[in-house]
Amino acid sequence: MPRQNQRKSSTVTTDKTSSLFVKKVHAVVKRIPLGKTMTYKDVAVKAGFPNAFRAVGSLMAKNFAQEIPCHRVIKSDGTMGNYNRGGIEKKKQLLAYEQKLAAKHKQ
């Protein structure tokens, strides 16, 4: 049976890893250019957690911070995945709008 201080140490490590994961994923997602997308798997790989694509999806599903463009993260099969700020149709609309903006800025 683990000692109490061992359990706390384990919890602290998990919390630190979790916090690091969140920070790294958010940093990657913030850098997705306007009009572009990345898959949950690509985000996980870039963040340094290549097997955590489902965790990336869960994190994006809980994201309400406006500065994290979670709508730019899609499934590996090219489908949208869900969007917690208005559903899949809203996600499609946002991406289409951003693609138009990005095209205008290129001209």
* Residues forming the active site: 70
DSSP 82: -
- Could you write out the DSSP letters of every residue in 23-50? HHHHHHHHTSPTT--EEHHHHHHHHT-T
Contact between 44 and 53 under an 8 Å Cβ cutoff? The reply is: yes
The residue written with tokens 């049976």 in the block is 1
DSSP 78: S
Give the closest residue to 69 by CA, choosing from 100, 38, 103: 38
